[in-house]
Copies of this chain bind each other. A is one copy, B any other.
Amino acid sequence: MAGKVEQKRKELTRRLIDIGEARIAAGGIEQIKARDLAKEAGCATGAIYNVFGDLNDLIMAVNGRTFIRLGAHVTAAVDKQKGDDPVETLIIMSHAYLNFAQQNTPAWRTLFDLEMSTDQNVPQWYLAELEKLLSIIATPLTRIFPEMTREDIMLMTRGLFSSVHGIVLLGLEKRISAVPTTKLEKMITLILRNLAK
C-alpha cells in the first residue's frame, strides 16, 4: 500500500512539474497559480501542497530542468568548436547563452525571477546543478589564467557569467542603454577577446 501511495505521489509531482514547465515556457512565473495548476492536473488545490512545500518549490523544480536544458545547449555548442582556443570557447558559450535566452525567454527569465539567496533554504540539488553550470565556464578560464588562485577563478567565473548575463538582459529588453540586438554577438566577442589578450 505504502508503495502505491508513494508512486501516485511521484506521478503527481512529475505531472505538476510538466504542467508548470509548459506554463512558464508560455508566459513566465505569473502563469504559476495553484488553482490553475490543480485544474490542469485534475487534483485538488490542497494536493499540490502535499507534494510541494509551496509554489516556489515547484518553480524551483522547473528551474532545475531549465538549468539542465541550458547546460546541454551550451555544451552542444562547445562540442562543435573547431580547435580548442579557450577564449573562443568562452565566446561560443556566451553566444549559446544569448541564443538560449532568446529562444526560451520566459523560462530563462524565471531563473532570475525567484527571490532567492544562499542565506535561504536552497535545496542541495539546486546548488549542485548551478555549480555544474558554472564549472563549464571555469574550465576554459583555468586554461586562460593557469596561475590564478582557485578563489580568483571562482570570482572570475561568476563575474564573467554576470557580465554576459548583463549584456543579454539589457540587450533583450531593448533598453536604450543597451546595444542593438543585432550587435549583441559582436559585442560579446569584443569584450571576451580583449579579456585575455
* Majority DSSP secondary structure for residues of A touching B: helix
How many residues in A have their beta carbons less than 8 Å from beta carbons of B?
45
* Cβ–Cβ contact A159 & B188, under 8 A: yes
* Cβ–Cβ contact A175 & B127, under 8 A: no
Q: Measured between C-beta atoms, what is the minimum distance from A183 to chain B in Å?
A: 6
Question: In whole angstroms, what is the CA distance A127 to B175 when docked?
Answer: 12
Name which residue of chain B comes closest to A179, CB basis.
B158
Question: In whole angstroms, what is the CA distance A193 to B158 when docked?
Answer: 16
Q: Is A178 an interface residue (CB 8 A)?
A: yes
Q: Is A122 an interface residue (CB 8 A)?
A: yes
Q: Is A103 an interface residue (CB 8 A)?
A: no
Q: Is A119 an interface residue (CB 8 A)?
A: yes
Q: Measured between C-beta atoms, what is the minimum distance from A45 to chain B in Å?
A: 29
Choose one: B117, B155, B174, B178; the contact of A162 (CB below 8 Å).
B178
